[in-house]
Each structure stands twice: as structure tokens, then as C-alpha cells.
Amino acid sequence: MPLMNLGFLASHRGSNMQAVIDACHTGRLRAKPCVVISNNSHAEALTRAKQAGIPAYHVSSKTHPSPEQLDAEILRLLLQHQVELVLLAGYLRKLGVQTLRWYRNRIINIHPALLPKFGGQGMYGAAVHEAVLAARETETGVTIHLVDEEYDHGVILAQCRMPVLAEDTVASLVQRVLEREHSFLIETLERIIAGELILPS
Ligand code: GRF
């Protein structure tokens, strides 16, 4: 079976991306990280990509002031690197219509809560876990979903649930959920690559 070509879009740290890269390199994932694109020229994700020998690009409104050209450039890079599946790994921008159309049902996002709750614009990082605690939820978790025009909105592909413990704080949830994200993303990609979890055509 050939390797599945992966492309990443990431705005900051890129720890989920790193987990996937590592799983590709150990052979656990039958996939190849082909390109990393960031809207943030200082993103740690770009440094991680370069260290792993993966082509890395800064593409943003600074490099492409027109939204249509920015969208076209992202799509061009994904196609140039023959990406089959796009992973949003902490990417804090909406994708443009050209990229969304071309890669319809082939772009996935990971979110540190049980969508459809606690998603949407601004629901990133600690804000998600603050909202979970403020709502006195007894459960939280990780959601992996298809990407569409709205933030954190597309079809849910996989979720894993975790208890919110009485002693949990924002910091403890940040850490515990992120650790689970890394393993759950690999598990879910394994199922996608093996054809057990079928993406809509
Ligand atoms: C993760 O919590 C992910 O769920 C969310 O953004 C965060 C990115 O973290 N979409 P990292 O950049 O992968 O470390």
C-alpha cells in the first residue's frame, strides 16, 4: 500500500503535527508528511518542519494581501506537494473557497473539546478549557472533524471522551487533553489510512 501524502497547516506550536511526523518516521503511520504551511512566520511548527526536513512555507496576508491569492497559493503548494489529506494542526485562519472546494472532505481538524460544544471563533487553547470548567461539564475530550467554511463546524469523524476531575484546573486540562490529542490523532489517522474510517467522497 502506498504512503498517504499529508499536508499540514499550523499557526503556532505544532505539537500535534510533530506527533504525526514522528509516527510517520517510526512507520506506525503509513503516511508521508509532505509540506507544512503557516500563516505565522515565527511559528514553532515551521521550525519543527525544517528540523524534520519537510518543505515549510510562510503564507499569510503579509505575503499575499489578496485573500483570493492567499487561498490560491495555499492550494498551489498543497497540489505541488501532492497532498492527499490536509491536517489543520492549530491553524487559526479560515481556509479559502478554492482550497475548501478542491480538498472537500479531505481536510481534518483536531479540537480539544467535545464539539459541537465549546467550538467556534476564539475557542482556542486555554479558552476552550475555561469554558468547559465554567459550564461545570463532567466530561471533555477530543474531536476530529472535517473542515468546512465555519470554525469547528464540519462533520465529526471521531471523538474520545475524558472525565473532568473535581481537582481539574485550566492548566491541568490543557496538559491532559493535549496529551490525549496526540495519541488520538494518530489512532484516528491509522483508521483513516487503513480504510476503517471512511471519509465521505
Ligand atoms: C490543539 O489543542 C488543537 O486541538 C487545536 O489547537 C491546538 C494546537 O496545538 N486545534 P499544537 O499546535 O498542535 O501544539
Residue-wise pLDDT tens digits, 111-132: 999 999 999 999 999 999 999 9
Active site residue 111: yes
pTM of the full predicted structure?
0.97
Q: Find where cell 496576508 sits.
A: 61
Cβ-based neighbours of 201, under 8 Å, separated by 6 or more: 105
CA 136 to chain centre: 26
Q: How distant is the alpha carbon of residue 191 from its chain centre?
A: 16
CA distance 45 to 35: 11
Question: Which residue among 81, 111, 145, 182 is the active-site one?
Answer: 111
Q: Ligand 1 in contact with 40 (CB < 6 A)?
A: no
- Average of per-residue pLDDT across 161-187: 98
Among 44, 110, 153, 157, which residue has the most ligand 1 atoms within 8 Å of its CB, making it the best to mutate? Answer: 110
pLDDT at 163 over 90: yes
